[in-house]
Chain A
Amino acid sequence: NAGVTQTPKFRILKIGQSMTLQCTQDMNHNYMYWYRQDPGMGLKLIYYSVGAGITDKGEVPNGYNVSRSTTEDFPLRLELAAPSQTSVYFCASTTGTEQYFGPGTRLTVT
């Protein structure tokens, strides 16, 4: 039981490049989330999903896209990377009580 896994752990992107952050959970949780954490700040919700095929925007969705084709996977897509997207990205999942977080992806856009 690996919990929530995220890949990659680190990534450096050039402005305008695109990439997908991967998130997988093996706990059969319906609810999944993407948060970003800027330096010295709390986490802010980007997108979330309450089940396969259902996604919704969070507080800071601009510049990102998501999809949820399976219960296990919830990838986050950055289409045109900008320096403002430099952050640590956390994926999380839950059955409805405690949220289980992945280890995070540290992304730098230069």
Chain B
Amino acid sequence: AQKVTQAQTEISVVEKEDVTLDCVYETRDTTYYLFWYKQPPSGELVFLIRRNSFDEQNEISGRYSWNFQKSTSSFNFTITASQVVDSAVYFCALRVYNQGGKLIFGQGTELSVKP
């Protein structure tokens, strides 16, 4: 069975702090994809990144960076110099190849960035 765990339910930081959101996944399949989505207070789901299981290269996009480690089944997300606009719920999700494209979501981490 597949599972995604986001152990941090809520995180509160002060603006300009760096913050890391943890994601641990479980799957026996060798081909899979990992995602991060952002859900701001307005409620929509915003796609941030997709990684496949054969690409462990870290990714950086502006203040966002992602660390994918198959050895620990983790796909952590770091926001550098956080801003108030980063306040949102962040979801990590897993999709296993050849299973209809279904996403398995973690419970989400609510990030609050205070000025």
Contacts and interface: CB of A to CB of B under 8 A. Distances in A.
Interface of A: 31, 33, 35, 40-45, 48, 50, 56, 58, 88, 90, 92, 94, 96-101, 103-104, 106
Contact of A56 (B33, B100, B106): B100
A40 B47 CA distance: 19
Given A42-B105, A43-B103, A44-B105, A97 B44 contact: no
A71 to B, nearest CB: 15
A101 B45 contact: yes
A96 B47 contact: no
Contact of B105 (A40, A43, A56, A106): A43
B53 to A, nearest CB: 14
Interface residues of B, number: 21
Interface of B: 4, 6, 9, 33, 35, 43-45, 47, 50, 91, 93, 100-108
B102 A48 contact: yes
Nearest to B42: A103
B43 A99 contact: no
Nearest to A97: B50
A78 B50 CA distance: 32
Given A50-B101, A94-B101, 4 more contacts: A42-B105, A42-B108, A48-B101, A50-B100
A96 B31 CA distance: 13
Given A41-B107, A42-B91, A98-B50, A103 B102 contact: no
